[in-house]
A and B are shown apart, each in its own frame.
Chain A
Amino acid sequence: MNEIGGVPLFFLEFGDIVAYFSPFTLTLFLLALVFSVFVIVSRPEWQIDIAFGADAFFAKEISLPELRFRRFMAIACGLACMGAMVTGDVFDFTLFVSLVGICNVGIVAAVRTYHVQDAAYQYGLVALAGTVPLFSAAAIVAATTGTLSMLELASPAAPAVPLIARALLVLGVMGEGMAPFYAAKAEMFRAPGAPYVIMCSLSSLLIFLRVTEVVLLL
């Protein structure tokens, strides 16, 4: 096969859907795994605002159920990322990526601040619109080549994937949280509650790295 991400170390088969661990995908998988473990064990921050012109500060209080919900969504986002990193099926990849999009919205949805919720909502609209090119890309890959397996598509004998399918795939992933739509997330990062909020940016980075591999592989 076309060894963009190194020789696969081992394959995990679920019927005809094969997850593969090459040095590249394994590294990304471990990164998502380690950060998910951090999210589980770490204690959330207390965000402090310094009041200018006075010797005072405001501590933002966040209720425990809210933090629990956010931690749950951050762990779900980590799981979706891990899936997107190692899956060997184009359609599964698009599903995992849109799952990452929903989880990103979910992480900040519990924040009781209007502008954060509004930013999350607008970003969610972009993410929802992003599923159109994502699923279209997977469907066109299946229609032109007859398979969705990345391992089969990577072999030199496989029929060529049309450029439009790759372009739609990249466009769809962009909609789920990469630049330039990433700008819509800026207000979301201001939400109190690190390290959970950082999962939003880490997941974007990871799916960006993986989609480059997928596009080069096809």
Chain B
Amino acid sequence: MAWNEYSFGLLVVFLAALVGFMALARERDDLHKLLLVDLVEGASIAVIALLGTDLAEALILPGLVVGIAELLALSQLYIAKEGLAGVPPRGLNIEVVQKSPATVIIPGFLVVYGIVLSGFTGGGIAALGLVFYFMSHRFLGDFHVLELASGISWALWVAAFFVFMFAPAFWFLALMGAAVGILLKVITKISLVGVMWGEAE
């Protein structure tokens, strides 16, 4: 079989994965093992990305979600296993971050820009702004509201996909529903990831 760009790409990715696995075989610390596994996980996303088609883009999303879900589950398990649940979290103890108005302006800009972009990418950018805001300010609100919003917007996203499957005539409505649903879901979910560690006080 002839060697083309795809084969070379595959070779590079598998070599990268091999390096990751070799590091994993030598590592003895549990937390570092988790970080290394996550690094290796990047190789599996790269293999899918090598397809270079629209299908690859559609496959990366669930692959990424499953990877993040496993990572979150294992890190929760690590916290429980090592008895770290009661350890008080430390915020960012940097004077500039605590006093400067930039910690409000930059997240505000990112959130607005994310909403304009919409979809998964927009959600990611807006969530990045929120994570930065939560890191620099102490948020004492109710996180269950965020979880609820995340769940409901996810249901909206799934409902939109059912419209695509069973009533394709209303595709525009479904497209808008899916775009807004995934935007809200990603914003709330990722900002939760950023602040969960502040809960244990």
Contacts and interface: CB of A to CB of B under 8 A. Distances in A.
| Binding site secondary structure of chain B | helix
A125 B63 CA distance: 16
Contacts of A14: 165
Interface string B30-53: 100110011011011101101100
A187 B165 CA distance: 44
A134 B80 CA distance: 28
B48 A139 contact: yes
B56 to A, nearest CB: 8
B59 A128 contact: no
B71 interface: yes
Interface centre among B33, B38, B59, B78 (most CB of A within 10 A): B59
Judged by DSSP, the binding face of A is helix
A109 B77 contact: yes
Range of interface residues on chain B? 35 or more
Interface in A98-151: 98-99, 101-102, 105-106, 109, 114, 117-118, 120-121, 124-125, 127-129, 131-132, 134-136, 138-140, 142-143, 148
Contacts of B132: none
B70 A101 contact: yes
B19 interface: no
B24 interface: yes
A124 B21 contact: no
Given A139-B48, A143-B51, A117 B164 contact: no
Interface of A: 14-15, 91, 95, 98-99, 101-102, 105-106, 109, 114, 117-118, 120-121, 124-125, 127-129, 131-132, 134-136, 138-140, 142-143, 148
Interface of B: 6, 10, 14, 17, 21, 24, 30, 33-34, 37-38, 40-41, 43-45, 47-48, 50-51, 55-56, 59, 62-63, 66-67, 69-71, 73-74, 76-78, 80-81, 164-165
Interface pairs A-B: 6 shortest CB-CB: A135-B44, A117-B81, A132-B44, A136-B47, A139-B48, A124-B74
